[in-house]
Amino acid sequence: MSDDRLAQARAWLRQDPDHQTRDELAGLITRAAGGDAAALADLDDRFRTRLAFGTAGLRGALGAGSNRMNRVLVAQAAAGFAAYLREKAHGGTPTVVIGYDGRRNSRVFATDSAELFAGAGLRAVLLPRLLPTPVLAFAVRHLGADAGVMVTASHNPPDDNGYKVYLGGADQGSQIVAPSDAEIAGHIQRIADAGDVSALPRSTAYETAGEEVVEAYIAATAAVAPAPEGAEGLRWVYTAMHGVGWETLSRILKAAGYPQPTVVDEQLTPDATFRTVSFPNPEEPGAMDLSFAAARRAKADFILANDPDADRLAVAIPDDEAAGGWRRLTGNEIGLLLGARAARAAAGVAGASLACSLVSSPGLGAVAAHHGLDFHETLTGFKWISRAPGIVFGFEEALGYLVNPETVRDKDGISAAVAILGLAAEARGRDAGIADLIRELGDTYGHFASGQVSVRVEDVSLIADVMLALRTLPPTHLGDRSIASAEDLLQAGPGQPSGDVLRYRLSDGSRVIVRPSGTEPKLKVYIDARADSAEGAVAAVAELEAAVRSLLDERS
């Protein structure tokens, strides 16, 4: 095996155009050839498999090798995707738009892709500078493109990057799903098997999009919720989490008529090291501490935070009982606020629907029923949510919201921020705040609460072991609550969401869902409860979280 790995590594080295990963790999090869066990193990980890298209296309750690993100892998992906698009075009000239964020190598990967698409005979359009992921998703539809590529790893750790793929036409600018993902992967594998990306045709005859694309996104997003009278009195804080959201959002605020926020200066501009946070995800403990401090100083009413590529939105509100005096709302709370907003606007529209992933709050179904709308529950990921028939709003609990499906068929943390500003401004007009809006949700649609248990692992095989243990010996109770039914979605029936998901419905009406993360080495457990009061629902979730942790300890 060591000889095979060394041969793979040497073949990779010969085609790598990046001096940094070349030097990294050359050193590993030298040590491994000398019998260094650690170097051999490192080579095995880098070459025993390939990064594959998953929930968000390609995503992984930067570095040399087929199991890392690098210029060789991106070249293979771009050439394979180009071959797929040419095949589907049946002789026409496909158009593909490429965007990129502020992560390490994002611009390089995007430029490589543009050159390879152009070299393959496609019309390639590179966005004018680093921009949020929603701008790329918008550009696919706005330009009538056949496809789009966004180079980003969203909220992953600093050393990661990724390659997110969208399809135009009948797919309306949504992310790829089966069978396209497998077909693209097949084309990529054929390019990889050919063995030398330096032989792929390249061209610098790609286009660079003009500012009109960005301006069109700004106009469309400002129209989501133009500022009502009295909005000028809003006091709020914003952080871009070291990402690319601020420039675009600040222009939208001006266009929509909202006041500029107090900003977290340390996190406002793109920084690939994400130096002020251990993990650039607003959901992670500590990630919003600087925002909380800024909000206390400004005596703000609320905080809005985008993740680094601005496709997600976090909201926090004052809370005397929370540490530091501020509480970040759950993704489900925000999703129900925005879902109720959309439902009120769509009431009476034939075929209009709300959609969420199966791990998100069942409260959205209650909202849809209350307003006479259709409701769709999908697999996790906006590639599924965005395809729900008649969708006027969709969300997933991981801070993703689709509020403007006519222009962006993906989660969009910037348009969601504008929608929240609209709700906050309207509430302020009647001397209320976001906390009051949440209480009103419970009074109108029922009291729902949610929680999550997330277990991060170093060895991803442990996740498969736990899932197998739960399937082999299904639990019958969680704490004092009996499990009324257990569903394995690997064995779902026709027309039902199917995936590596276990769903438990409890006798008291609560729900617990277990699944591996699609983008990170985590096992995730989602807990939802409904009760006669907000306090009762929260208490039920807390008890179930403790029971789930105990169960996972037993099975791991």
Residues with catalytic function:
154
**Please, how many CA atoms are within 13 Å of residue 204, restricted to the half-sphere of its CB?**
0
Instruction: Round to whole Å and give the CA distance between 12 and 20.
Output: 14
Q: State the distance between the two ends of the chain, measured CA to CA, in whole angstroms.
A: 30
Q: Phi and psi for 393 in degrees, rounded to 5?
A: -160, 140
Angle between helices 245-256 and 211-222 (to 10 degrees): 50
- Separation CA 299–CA 436 (nearest Å): 18
Tell me if 282 sits within 8 A of 399, measured CB to CB.
Answer: yes
Q: Which of 300, 312, 535, 308 is nearest to 424 (CA)?
A: 300
CB-based contact 489:502 (threshold 8 Å):
yes
Q: Cα–Cα distance between 551 and 455 in angstroms, integer? A: 12
Phi and psi at 210, nearest 5°, equal -85, 175
Which tokens sit at 324?
């530091």
Helices H / strands E in the chain, number of each: 17, 22
Token pair listed for 302:
């609320």
CA atoms of 528 and 489, how far apart (whole Å): 18
Burial of 240 (C-beta count, 10 Å sphere; 0-12/13-18/19+)? buried
* C-alpha–C-alpha distance, residues 245 and 398, integer Å: 18
Rounded Cα distance between 394 and 348, Å, is 18
- What's at 39, amino acid-wise? A
Beta-sheet strand order (sheet of 502-506):
447-456, 522-531, 511-516, 502-506, 481-488, 477-478
d(CA 471, CA 488): 8
Between CA 503 and CA 357 the distance in angstroms is 13
What are the C-alpha distances in Å from 9 to residues 25, 95, 178, 340? 7, 34, 31, 54
157 preceded by a cis bond (ω within 30 of 0): no
- CA gap 447, 365 in Å, rounded: 13
Q: What is the largest CA-CA distance in the chain?
A: 74
Query: Exposure string (b/e) for 133-145, b if CB count within 10 Å is 16 or more?
Result: bbbbbbbbbbbeb
